[in-house]
Chains A and B, each alone.
Chain A
Amino acid sequence: MTKGKLSMKELLAWQPETHVSATVRNMPPSGIRKFFDIVMSMEDVISLGVGEPDFVTPWHIREACIYSLEQGQTSYTSNNGLPELREGLSEAVRRDIGLDYDPDEGVLITTGVSEAVDLAFRATLNRGDEVIVPQPCYVAYVPDIILAGGVPRVVATELKEKFKVRPEDIEPAITERTRALLLSYPNNPTGAVMTRQDLEDIADLVVENDLLVISDEVYDKLTYCGKHTSFAQLEGMKERTVLLNGFSKSYAMTGWRIGYALGDPAIVGAMTKVHQYTMLCAPTMAQVAAVEALRRGNSEIESMKREYDRRRRLFVSELERLGLPCFEPDGAFYAFPSIEGTGLSSEEFAERLLMDQKVAVVPGNVFGDCGEGFLRCSYATSREEILEAVDRIELFLDGLRL
């Protein structure tokens, strides 16, 4: 014990960074972070870098939340979520994809799909268990698996296969420690979708190797060539699948942080246990808004989707005009053009485009090594901005060719 001032020796002895766990220390920061800092220091940037809708949450949904606050609905909900919301979801899922999930045991409301992803790994992985992760994919899966003590086994998907994952991609990655397969279709960042047939092709492998499938289907409502098929809809796959989804993308409700997990009571129950000790429950007012979204939000989903589809066509046709090869994305709100022909790396291209023309895109390698040579461009922005961004990209490309 020292009295009064600490001595210089004592001050030097305290090194807070040594108190950061090795796991977290070794975890690379999200590749988006660096970009974010540059972009924030600039003005007049047109952004194709945003992973969320540009629509504001429909007014009736916001209004329902305001009303609940006026009524003083500010307490916790039960751990697994408001009964009305779980029942409403169970009913909507039965109606939309014909699957039955018990609202009490098979449904868990989470704080965004992000939490649901984290819970799914933490509730199912033992130390050293391997999870197969097709890339390019959303940036959180790999770190979440590591935090849960698991080992991510990354599998590359390719442009020539339209970024779908095939059994021959997965098979070589399977070892005796493989426990789960992560699927995220419609895909962020590529916009790829998996048809029922594509999913059927990998189902056998899942059964043979006794895998659990963790399927993040948050973009399920945003498909432009036919209806989305969930992996859980395949025969015999419902029990093997933890289906993760949320309100963020389809209802333009990103900031509300409401997601959910559907699955077998054994697994959803395990996830609920972790959830109850960490999150307790998802925000009550946001759950109330989600109930309203489910009840009366469907026409808005459809009209937002129609608008995304138009922007998608507009953007892809403009990319074609610029000579940037891009397969036609069938889902989500991203295009993933190749910039290999320019001789620049994804990061160089994105950084120089930002500096020269003030257009923000996300370098593809942020979503996995196999994303190198591509850019993620979000078309969840107004048509005017898309066209302005394309004009600036054209100027940038002209500059490169000089």
Chain B
Amino acid sequence: MNEILEILEDNAKATSAEIAVLLGMSEEEVSRKIRELEESGVIRKYMTMINWDKVGEGYVYAVIELKVSLHRDKGYDTIAERIARFSEVQSVRLISGDHDLSATIRGRSMKNVAFFVTEKIATLEGVESTCTHFVLRSYKEHGVILYGKPKPKRLVITA
């Protein structure tokens, strides 16, 4: 089960037939397990990692740290869920340390992101303060190193 997930996490396009060979299972068995994983919500979505910069459609990213006042009954959930609904928001996390929540915002320009934060996030009831960190360069995303240095070569034949 976990091995199927490990393969799919690395390559969402891996087919049941391919996975079956790799794990020594039958194709039907793999298909059935994947269906179960999808239905039970273990597999949430199949995604593609895209380098938008190369398309000339670069995005601007910012990490926003928020301090919020706690809702008496619902803790952090109410405010976090409210923030999560904005399509500009890519992730929302409850974090330890000086701040309470951390959100990642994606926008078309710095101005666009800045306005979004000041108009939509900072003004939310319960948000006490925000601290915006614009992303200048990304070195690794989703476990993939983004700066390309080729791996040194091995000798082609060794005993």
A residues neighboring B (CB under 8 Å):
30, 32, 35-36, 39-40, 45, 47, 49-52, 54, 56, 138-140, 188, 306, 310-311, 313-314, 317, 360, 362, 366, 383
The verdict on B21 contacting chain A, using a C-beta distance below 8 Å, is yes
Q: In the assembly, what is the distance between CA of A390 and CA of B23, in Å?
A: 19
Beyond A40-B156, A51-B158, 10 additional contacts (C-beta under 8 Å) are A36-B157, A45-B156, A50-B155, A52-B154, A140-B159, A306-B3, A310-B22, A314-B21, A317-B21, A360-B157
Q: In the assembly, what is the distance between CA of A51 and CA of B157, in Å?
A: 7
| Interface of B: prevailing SS | loop
The verdict on B56 contacting chain A, using a C-beta distance below 8 Å, is no
Q: In the assembly, what is the distance between CA of A197 and CA of B88, in Å?
A: 63
CB-CB under 8 A from B156, the residues of chain A are 36, 39-40, 45, 47, 49-50, 360
Q: How far is the CB of A305 from chain B (nearest CB, A)?
A: 12
CB-CB under 8 A from B159, the residues of chain A are 30, 32, 51, 138-140, 188, 362, 366
CB-CB under 8 A from B6, the residues of chain A are 306
Q: List 21 A-B contacts (CB under 8 A).
A: A39-B157, A47-B157, A49-B156, A50-B154, A50-B156, A51-B158, A51-B159, A52-B154, A54-B154, A56-B151, A138-B159, A139-B159, A140-B159, A310-B22, A310-B23, A313-B23, A313-B24, A314-B21, A360-B157, A362-B159, A366-B159
Q: In the assembly, what is the distance between CA of A239 and CA of B159, in Å?
A: 30
Q: In the assembly, what is the distance between CA of A314 and CA of B23, in Å?
A: 9
Q: How far is the CB of A224 from chain B (nearest CB, A)?
A: 9
Q: How far is the CB of A313 from chain B (nearest CB, A)?
A: 5
The 6 closest A-B pairs by CB, nearest first: A310-B22, A49-B157, A51-B158, A47-B156, A39-B156, A36-B157
Q: In the assembly, what is the distance between CA of A20 and CA of B4, in Å?
A: 57
Q: In the assembly, what is the distance between CA of A56 and CA of B159, in Å?
A: 18
In contact, B23 and A50 (Cβ under 8 angstroms)? no
CB-CB under 8 A from A32, the residues of chain B are 157-159
Size bin of chain B's contact surface: 10 to 19
Q: In the assembly, what is the distance between CA of A394 and CA of B102, in Å?
A: 54
* Chain B 1-34 interface residues, beta-carbon cutoff 8 Å to A: 3, 6-7, 21-24
In contact, B22 and A50 (Cβ under 8 angstroms)? no
CB-CB under 8 A from A54, the residues of chain B are 154
CB-CB under 8 A from B22, the residues of chain A are 310-311, 313-314, 383
Q: In the assembly, what is the distance between CA of A317 and CA of B156, in Å?
A: 24
CB-CB under 8 A from B23, the residues of chain A are 310, 313
Q: In the assembly, what is the distance between CA of A366 and CA of B23, in Å?
A: 32
In contact, A50 and B157 (Cβ under 8 angstroms)? yes
CB-CB under 8 A from A188, the residues of chain B are 159
Q: How far is the CB of B151 from chain A (nearest CB, A)?
A: 6
CB-CB under 8 A from B3, the residues of chain A are 306
In contact, A49 and B158 (Cβ under 8 angstroms)? yes
Do A35 and B157 contact each other (CB < 8 Å), given the known contacts A56-B151, A313-B24? yes
Q: In the assembly, what is the distance between CA of A147 and CA of B23, in Å?
A: 44
CB-CB under 8 A from B151, the residues of chain A are 56
Q: How far is the CB of A360 from chain B (nearest CB, A)?
A: 6
Q: How far is the CB of B144 from chain A (nearest CB, A)?
A: 15
Q: How far is the CB of B26 from chain A (nearest CB, A)?
A: 12
Q: In the assembly, what is the distance between CA of A104 and CA of B156, in Å?
A: 39
Q: How far is the CB of B16 from chain A (nearest CB, A)?
A: 14
* Chain B 125-159 interface residues, beta-carbon cutoff 8 Å to A: 151, 154-159
Closest chain A residue, CB of each to CB of B7: A310
CB-CB under 8 A from A51, the residues of chain B are 158-159
Q: In the assembly, what is the distance between CA of A56 and CA of B154, in Å?
A: 10
Q: How far is the CB of B149 from chain A (nearest CB, A)?
A: 11
